[in-house]
A and B are shown apart, each in its own frame.
Chain A
Amino acid sequence: MRIAIVDDSGTARMFIRRCLEIAGFQGAEIIEAENGKDALEKIRSAPVDLLLTDLTMPVMDGTTLLKWIKANPKLSALPVLVISSAGNPAKEIELKALGAMGVLDKPVSPAKLNMLLRDFLEKGGLESDQ
């Protein structure tokens, strides 16, 4: 499985990577990107199975990234999980309407991440090597 982590903070990317490992996704290949534009370039050249993104980022924010992914026929099936401190109920509704599979508050915990991803896996949304 290939997972993209999109966040302008190296700390946040490292923290999410560790959470994925603890949650049982240690076998996944992780691709890191610093903003939406960087992520689009990387996932176009090497597709991923899941994308985790922050919202507030320079160059291209997470909402714009989500819109680009869902508008592109080659990428639109990609599951996108938003992990951000800038979420609230209104934003969560907006993001899910745009196609996000879920929204998690920062700091994400391995347990929360695991629960959401396992739930998605059980619904056949991802193929895990676990």
Chain B
Amino acid sequence: MTSEESTWAGIIVPLISGIIEDMAFTEVMPSEATPQYDLAARGASLLVHDPVQGEFQLIIENSLLKYLAGIVYGPMADELNEQSEGDFLDELLNTIAGRFLSVILPEDKSFTLGIPERFSGPFVVPVPPVSSWSFVIEGMCFTLIATGESLVALENR
């Protein structure tokens, strides 16, 4: 399912815009097309354990990861390296997934997330059911993917 078709898009687009603007003071635009990521990109995945089971993945162009991490680290940007950029990616995914679940789940439902794990290309589209949303910042792209039957089924409730 693309961002254009997704009924979650009305939630996820402003949520991600708000998170990126709060963290990196940068404007985010939704992308109608799903970008093709080559090896010059990085990914992180995060399991949802409870009350539904699924996984969030965030794939981001290396140049965008460096750009955002550089803004967030500000005066400490000189200390950025592959490890700290990966840590920033984990934190971004963790924040997006947590905030998203807190919006889509009932207020009295707590949830449990795993610990983010990183992966590199080639990037394979996950097995359906899948929902994905892509975004552009300064001409560079990132994509959020939600997969897992019970997680994605929440969209149709």
Complex Cα–Cα for A11 and B73 (A): 8
Question: Does A15 contact B23, Cβ atoms closer than 8 Å?
Answer: yes
Nearest to B83 among chain A residues (CB) is A10
Q: Is B125 positioned at the interface, with any CB of A under 8 Å from its CB?
A: no
Complex Cα–Cα for A88 and B23 (A): 20
Q: CB < 8 Å: which of B88, B102, B115 contacts A88?
A: B102
Question: Does A11 contact B72, Cβ atoms closer than 8 Å?
Answer: yes
Question: Does B98 contact A85, Cβ atoms closer than 8 Å?
Answer: yes
Complex Cα–Cα for A8 and B90 (A): 10
Q: CB < 8 Å: which of A89, A91, A107 contacts B95?
A: A107
Q: Is A109 positioned at the interface, with any CB of B under 8 Å from its CB?
A: yes
Q: CB < 8 Å: which of A18, A58, A94, A105 contacts B115?
A: A58
Q: How far is the CB of A128 from chain B (nearest CB, A)?
A: 24
Nearest to A18 among chain B residues (CB) is B74
Question: Does B72 contact A89, Cβ atoms closer than 8 Å?
Answer: no
Question: Does B72 contact A88, Cβ atoms closer than 8 Å?
Answer: no
Q: CB < 8 Å: which of B22, B91, B97, B115 contacts A11?
A: B91
Which size bracket describes the interface of A in this complex?
Answer: 20 to 34
For A106, what are the chain B residues with a Cβ–Cβ distance below 8 Å? 94-95, 98-99
Question: Does A9 contact B102, Cβ atoms closer than 8 Å?
Answer: no
Question: Does A86 contact B88, Cβ atoms closer than 8 Å?
Answer: no
Q: CB < 8 Å: which of B84, B99, B112, B115 contacts A10?
A: B84
For A15, what are the chain B residues with a Cβ–Cβ distance below 8 Å? 23, 72, 91
Residues in B1-59 with C-beta less than 8 Å from chain A: 19, 22-23
Nearest to A93 among chain B residues (CB) is B108
Nearest to A90 among chain B residues (CB) is B108
Q: Is A1 positioned at the interface, with any CB of B under 8 Å from its CB?
A: no
B79-115 vs A, CB cutoff 8 Å, 1 = contact: the mask equals 0000010011011001111110110010111111101
Q: How far is the CB of A80 from chain B (nearest CB, A)?
A: 18
Question: Does B107 contact A90, Cβ atoms closer than 8 Å?
Answer: yes
For B97, what are the chain A residues with a Cβ–Cβ distance below 8 Å? 85
Complex Cα–Cα for A85 and B107 (A): 14
Question: Does A91 contact B98, Cβ atoms closer than 8 Å?
Answer: no
Q: If the complex has contacts A11-B88, A15-B23, A15-B72, are A88 and B95 also in contact, measured as CB distance less than 8 A?
A: no
Q: If the complex has contacts A11-B72, A14-B76, A90-B107, are A85 and B99 also in contact, measured as CB distance less than 8 A?
A: yes
Complex Cα–Cα for A88 and B51 (A): 14
Question: Does A9 contact B90, Cβ atoms closer than 8 Å?
Answer: yes
A-B residue pairs, 7 tightest by C-beta:
A85-B98, A88-B102, A85-B95, A11-B91, A9-B91, A89-B107, A11-B88
Interchain residue pairs with CB less than 8 A apart (8): A9-B91, A84-B98, A85-B95, A87-B102, A90-B109, A105-B102, A106-B98, A106-B99
